[in-house]
A = this chain, B = another copy of it.
Amino acid sequence: MQITDPTPHTTEASRATARRQQILAAAAQCFREHGFHGASIARISKIAGMSAGHIYHYFENKEAIIAAIVAQDLETLLTLTAELRAACNVRHALIERAAEGVLDQLDPDSAALKVEIVAEAARNSHVAQIVREADATCRRELMVTIRAIRSAAGHDDTPEATADMVEVLAALFEGLLLRTIRNPELDRKHVAQRIQLAINDLLDQPG
């Protein structure tokens, strides 16, 4: 299966961007199916519908493609937490959104790539840096959100306590990535409900 570009490119710039995106889409598919090291430039180029050599017109090397994929994946996470923070009744918004977020995390295809990214971060310092910076931003956002919810409920937590709660919340969510791979038959809807309950309890934990 080959990824073709359906949009005609009026300018040179858009053509180049489209081509880049085409490569990234092909690479994401390959990385999902074979991992960062198992996916070859030859395979990526075949799916992207261009020669292997031509890939190097748009990316310096394979590492740069990996970095771009990682950055792209993390960007969606960043917008999600930012969006969450913007909601007016934050507690309600958080718990409502949670069910949706849980189902997203439980999609096996996207989970595979996300897990691959963390695995790569454990051994590739460049990827680790990108991942950790994005994570730090997310945590900061979540800390503000959770602090707002908690102080509305009369809790005056230390920053450390808030950070710990964020970690538990994050573990809960990210753990789903592993669960959907280890147990693809799990009941997605009911697990989402249980997670909502657990988040609710977490927000009421003593300081």
Contacts and interface: CB of A to CB of B under 8 A. Distances in A.
A179 interface: yes
Contact of A178 (B139, B160, B171, B193): B171
Interface size class of A (residues with CB under 8 A): 35 or more
A132 B180 CA distance: 11
Query: Taking each of A116, A119, A161, A198, which has the highest tally of chain B beta carbons within 10 Å of its own beta carbon?
Result: A119
A12 interface: no
A182 B108 contact: no
A122 interface: yes
A118 B181 contact: yes
A194 B164 CA distance: 7
5 contacts: A115-B115, A167-B187, A168-B194, A172-B175, A201-B205
